[in-house]
A and B are shown apart, each in its own frame.
Chain A
Amino acid sequence: MIRLSGRFRSALIIGGQGIRARKTRTLLSMVSLFLGVLAVVVVQVGAETTKSARLADLELHAGKDGTRQTYLPGNADTIQIGQDTLKGRTDAVAISFTQAIIGEPGVSPVNPGGAPFDQPGGGQYAYPDGVEIFCDARGYCQPMQVAGDAPDVPVPGQAIELSLNALTGDIRQFRPFRSVSGQWLDFSSDPSLSPRIVVNLEAAKGFMRHQVPAEMRVEGTTANPTPRIIGVIDDGNMHPTAYTRADELQNWVPRSSNAGNYGPGLQVMLAPTAGDLEQLLRIRLTASGMPAEQIHFETIQARKEIAKELALIRWIFLGMAGLVLLIGVAGILNVGLATVGERVEEFALRRAVGTSRSLLAGIVLAETLLTGLLTAAAAIGLSALGLTAISALFGDRDQFLQDLAFPWQAGVAGVIAGLAAGLLGGLIPAIRAARIPIATVMRA
């Protein structure tokens, strides 16, 4: 231990003296290496930032990694079993889907089918008679022929159609909605008679543009309730959507009426730890007569999918960065070989006074490794600074730019790149230094 630390300290002193005596050379090595390390760091920053942005997007839409989820048919029994089983559980949520029109009674909404408001034509779709837009739970909408005779289409009026998601619990543990204003649904209080709803950004846009009276028509309601909009969130969905407590909505919509016309009848999301619940649900559903093979849980693996998606691009860019880095290695190697050539006598002399080969090689290597590390520090510092500058300058244009943070993976990649370059560029000079015969000092 003492011997090792003695060697280490000697190496530090000798390496330090070497670097101090050749500041310009060290600087030149760093310059030649800088672009390469910077390229690696920037590629990693880009890849990680894209990845986390995509991941955040995907989490909003599909749910967090590891979440177990299933879609169940929308018959009344199934929905009832699902909602009852999950009732009061904080580690699971069941979502049932329906369409709602909020506004003037007896008119057709400004966005039939719950379309976004900013589509060409201002969202005022004109479909042929008998065609309506149907959207599934993921927000994919398509026009569909309504069976039978074309119904009388009411005149357009001040009303907004949106998809209404009724929740048994807090969905944000699975889909981390960003709060924009107001509050989120409170699941701990008693259900209120006028349903509280939280709308997404697109729906909020509709309410800002169109002065709509607050009456909510939900398919199958016994009487139209007056909803209270208590908050706005960003759920990443471009279609107007509203969220409400399932038990509050049930005061108005008998369960049997939810025929599951609008996508799957019931979506169930479970925390990875809620395995018991999955079992329970399975047992109850099969007991009610549902075939077991219809109940299919899947695990959300967003990270893996994104990684696959980005891997190729990342490797292509890293490959190019690696080439630039290689040029830097050639630079370090060049300087290193020249330096060893110049220090032949010094190294022979150091060996003569008892410095071992390995320590000498270690010192040469340590000098280039230190150079690599310093370069990495400079490159990382510059990219972090650049990122902060971009975030400060353009942050108001996009939420995504505002949240920019230097990913630690890029820092690690930079340090590894610097060390690897130092190792590659220093190895040959180190071996040469160790091979210098001591007798050189006698012949010179």
Chain B
Amino acid sequence: MIGIRIALAGNPNVGKTTLFNALTGSRQHVGNWPGVTVEKKTGRINRNGHTIEVIDLPGTYSLTAYSADEVVARDYILEEKPDVVVQVVDATHLERNLYLTTQITELEVPVVIALNMVDEAEATGCTIDRERLSSLLEIPVVRTVGTRGEGLDDLLDAAVREAKTSPHHEHIVGYGNEIEAMIASLVGVLAADKDLGDRYPLRWLAARLLEGDENALAKVKESPVSSRVQDILSGTDLDEYEAAMADRRYDVIAAVLPQVRTAGARSMNVSEMIDRVVTDRYLGIPIFLALMWGAFELTFVVAAPFVALIEAGLAWLSAAVAGWLGPAWLASLVGDGIIGGVGSVLVFVPNIFILFLFLSFLEDTGYLARAAFIMDRLMYAIGLPGKAFIPMLIGFGCNVPGIMAARTIEGEKDRLITILVNPFISCSARLPVYILFAGAFFGAAAGAVVFFLYVLGISTAIGSAKLFRHTILPGESSPFIMEMPPYRLPTVGTSLLHTWSRGAMYVRKAGTIILAGALVVWCLASFPFGVEYGSSESLAGSLGRLLEPLVAPLGFDWKIAVALLFGLVAKEVVVGSLGVLYGTGEEGDALSTALLADPGLSAATALALMVFVLLYAPCLATIATIRKEAGSWRWAGFSVAYGLVLAWTLSLIVGRIAPFFLGGA
């Protein structure tokens, strides 16, 4: 019953999470771009009565972590000491992947190599002699194809065997006489500090010190041997060692590779050809915009018949419920509260699914990384690295992973700005609000209105980034480098799976948090006893009228005030609350009809409301994520306050200007 901990480490985008999912049956996020996984994830397997814990780590190019996600990976291996590290290696990028191997083995942990993506390597005619590689490196090498679940058993066998073998195989790069002498004298000094020796392999630490690794320097700073270490280091040119050591590692790899790999005929690379078009300096941005526009059209057009179907079903249901359920209050609870609240959110499931399908297509093909490159120039102008565009695109799905994705951004201020502007990127939860109001008040122009809102969101994010850069977080954008993965054709199966796992979250949210919100609003709308349901005499009415003065200048009445208040929990609740407050009516009218019939609502007010919902305070989950990622409540509070002020101002302006364009509505 001994538990074994296996850590999956490796370069970014080599298929660690794909293997993790295949091994543990989880559904962690996979995508064809570097930096998908930004925190460690744990899963368990039961194997022959043993519990095996598998940990999926963010990808890293070297153990000298440079960005926040790389720190997570390095610290896990170094501090938590897994029983065995499975390094997932991309068979098509052996050279660079083995560089990391040379660093991991220095940590003196048992290592097993999962030679992944063998299918892609073989497709180019390249063959790799796995056994020879294994014997040259003295590390077990297992062939895997993560996407097809091949080699999992062998991998686990090898990992368990390696974890239990001691002493395990160990392959360490020799750095040549001069450097080895330095390492030896450093190890001699470091050994005097017993504590340090218990925690870190000293040879590794010495090598890191010679490379001038700041993290390693910090580790010895507190140690009593610190001054003697400094004496040794001060007389040397660290830059030279650093370059020489990298050289030696690549030399060792260069000596191994020709013995194990026979390169195939290098055909014209398809990815390069596609890139020639999509990253073209003139075509790049138009292609990107066309893709986005197409996505919105698709979201509307394809979803429309399904939406109509669900609407009809719900109308039938609420009419039927009104007949079946005896007591009036119960009929109201089910009809107004549950069907009105949750139903009005569920109606938009088809739109949400299509949006997610599009986003997963962007991610799985590899286009996402290109978008970052295309946007680099624009981002540079606002003082952020092009990479910062990726969290924005992820934010279209949901701001929480969008903000997490900022971890891959190297500069701390750049990361903070990227986090703070992400809430303005319109997430999928806001889409129902737009579809509802744009559909009701703008008819055929609804698609254009929604596109306008998304563009307004991006513009606000970009404008705010520029503002923050010039005021509270001044500085230069940090230079960036990002790997362009090869284009991969996602299978229908994986696309649907990715869409489903995110879409299911929306449905689950409807059944939990939105249901709860709807019930609270229903209670407020029904009590105290005897008042007319949803009238301004109800508790909801009193609450709404309390808030009304705040939003009256924007043209919003008390019902909207209540919906906006509860919408702070999650933005879909705005729609849910309105569904409850307006009731579905005896005829089971759609909410849009009820809204249209409200004399207090005009097209201009609807537009102002959509702008307000787009920009006002982030939802609770996002606030919590900002707090966690930015490291203090101050930033979370700032984000809420800034959003509220901006939303209020902009929707006031929009509400005033819009009538001129809409023909004095």
Whether both chains belong to one complex is answered with no
Interface residues of B (CB under 8 A from A): none
Interface residues of A (CB under 8 A from B): none
